[in-house]
Each structure stands twice: as structure tokens, then as C-alpha cells.
Structure 1
Amino acid sequence: MATTSNQLTATSFSSPPSWDVFLSFYGKDTRRNFIANLYFSLDQAEILTFKDDPELEKGEEISCGLLKAIHGTKMFVVVLSENYARSPWCLNELVEILNCKRNRNRIVPVFYYVDPSDLRHQKGGFGEALSYHMKRYSVDFIEKWKSALAEIGQLSGYHLKKDSDEYVQLMLNT
């Protein structure tokens, strides 16, 4: 069951942040490699990091748990991989994260083997994913998701390239 936009915006959280960093990512692309290493490094640096699998309480409704975590976070690392937009969960998280940005929360995008212009213009896998979602979701959802992808594609971030020997070190000053 996908989280609806109404669920995301209707919920308000007033408690102080309980997380330094929230990781948003598409699990099949990055969970066992990039995210596992990033989470380990952040944990070693004693940065309180929300990653869905160990942090959600068992039996807790996933959408509520994610919303609480998003609204209780100081900064976000959004790892945008090839299949990120295939997940309505990821897209809904992104919309909510960008809403938090408007409240001065910091967002650090990581373009994980994707070109930021593909997000801005919904090309490649991002365009294909949105076309697929058009069969199941309302125009309102699609427009919010397109806008969120375009917005994050315009942010400065880390850009990993497949044919590069780059090493990325995220500088997270929380």
C-alpha cells in the first residue's frame, strides 16, 4: 500500500529532531553496498542516522514511521539511483523531504550513477518510471513527483559516475 500525499502533508510533528541524518534511497539499487557503507561510517562517527530497516519499530505502520523520522530529522541524504523513481515510497519521501527543506533542513543529493539532468527533465529511467506510474496514480501525484525530481535535480550534490574512479566522502556537519 503506497503512502498518499494527503497522509504526508496532513500529519504534523512538533517534537524536536531526534535524528541527525535521514537516508532516502531505493533499496534494491544501493542498500547492500553504498548505503550499508555510508550508514556504517555515519554510525562510527556517532551521527544518529535513520535508515528504514533497523530503525522502524516492528509492528509500526511504515508510512507513519517514515513520516515521524522525516519530520524528526535535521538533514537528509537522498541517494538517487537508476530505479529510485520506480518506487512510489521513495517519491513520496522525496516530496516530504523537499517540504522540510523549505523549513531550512539541509538536503545532500547523491546522484548514484545517474545524470542530474535526467531528474530535471524526467528522461531515461526517471521518465519511464513516471510513465509507468501514470497508469496507477492520479495526475496530482505525478505532477508532485515530477516537480520534486526536477527540484532535487537542480541541487548541488555528489555525482558518482560509473566509468569514474571517484571516491566520494560526504561531509556532514550536523
Structure 2
Amino acid sequence: MLASMANQGASSSAAPFTKSWKNHVFLSFRGEDTRHNFTDHLYSALCQEGIVTFRDDNELRRGEEISNALLTAIEDSKISVVVFSENYASSEWCLDELVKILDCKESNQQSVIPVFYKVNPSDVRNHRGSFGDALANMERKYEDEMDKVKKWRAALAQAAALSGFPLDE
């Protein structure tokens, strides 16, 4: 399914407006959870099928704000695959990516495909378990910027409500 969506995205006739996509797919994931297993395998499989896939390979993040290059990569991708894993919500970068991804879904008619890697979609949607714990920590850290945390909460709920793929392995 992802391959056919990505290949459609490469052609401007598939979209209701003319937009040239630099990437077919943008991968959003928590590096420490999935970089050296699931995400590497997914990335390799997509590339083998000729699907142009953006994956941020920068393991060590400097600063707390998402880079402009990453925001541009999200904007330039027809599809975003969001790999929700146990520690996804503990990363401000991941949460900022998710907000941007959902903004682009609305403004650019991009597709978003959630993958629930060893997490329950309802825990993501309802902010339970590790997602609830991470958001509680974010509320303490950003007590003077609660609008930011509210955006993250809303983005998690919205993305988890999309049809996706739960994976236990």
C-alpha cells in the first residue's frame, strides 16, 4: 500500500494541485527506540522499491528546536510515516515533527501513516502509559509554555486516531 501511495505521490497528476515532491516518504521516529531495528529495515525496504525516503540520521541533537532543514523535509514529502514507540513522546523533536506533519496533512494534503511499534494506539491517543508520563514531564518542563504542550497532546491524539499499523515485534 505504501509503495503505491508513494508512487502516486511522485506524479503531480495524482494530487489535486501541482506540487513536486522531493521525497515520497518522511520517516518520523524516536532514534533510541527504533533506529537500529524496525526503522532501518523499513527505510531499506522503501529504498529497495525505489521510494525516495527521508530519514534524519543525526543521532545527537544539539539544542531543543527542530531544524529548518527537517521542517523543509517534512513539507517536501508526500507521505509521512510516524513510528510511535515507547519513548516517542519523550522527545521534543519528535513531538515538534508530529505537529508539523499534521499541519502539512491539512495544508498540503499530505498522507500520514501511523505505525504503533510495541505500543497500544489507545495509549498514544489517550496519553496513557509512557505517553502520559512523557507528557506530564513536558508539562513540568514547559510550565510557562503550556500552549506548546497542548499542541503536542492534540497532535498525538489526532495522529493516533488515524488508521495505522500496530506492530508487536
- Normalising by structure 2, we get a TM-score of 0.80
Q: Which position in structure 2 is the counterpart of 1:67?
A: 71
> Which one-letter code corresponds to 1:96 in the other structure?
K
Paired residue total: 142
* Percent of residue pairs bearing the same amino acid type: 51
Look up the match of 1:95.
99
Residue 7 of structure 1: aligned partner = none
Going from structure 1 to structure 2, the CA distance change for 1:131 and 1:28 (only over 3 Å counts) comes to: same
The CA distance in 2 between the partners of 1:126 and 1:149, in whole Å, is 9
Out of 120, 128, 147, which is 1:123 matched to?
128
**1:34 alignment partner, one of 34, 38, 42:** 38
Q: 1:150 aligns with which of 143, 157, 167?
A: 157
TM score, norm. by length of structure 1 = 0.78
What amino acid is aligned across from residue 68 of structure 2 in structure 1? C
Q: Which residue of 1 aligns with 2:80?
A: 76
Paired residue for 1:86?
90
Q: Secondary structure at the match of 1:150?
A: helix
Q: Which amino acid aligns with 1:66?
A: L
Whether the aligned pair in 1 keeps the contact of 2:85 and 2:117 (CA below 8 Å) is: yes
CA distance in 2, matches of 1:44, 1:155: 27
Cα distance in structure 1, aligned partners of 2:139 and 2:42: 33
Report the Cα offset of residue 120 of structure 1. Answer: 1.4
Alignment correspondent of 1:16: 20
- 8 Å CA contact 2:66–2:97 kept in 1: the answer is no
* Structure 1 portions without partners, runs of 5+: 1-14, 55-60, 163-174
Amino acid at match of 1:98: L
Distance 2:38 2:97 in 1: 19
Q: Structure 1 runs of 4+ off > 6 angstroms?
A: none
CA displacement at 1:62 relative to structure 2:
6.0
For residues 62 and 161 of structure 1, the distance between their equivalents in structure 2, rounded to whole angstroms, comes to 29
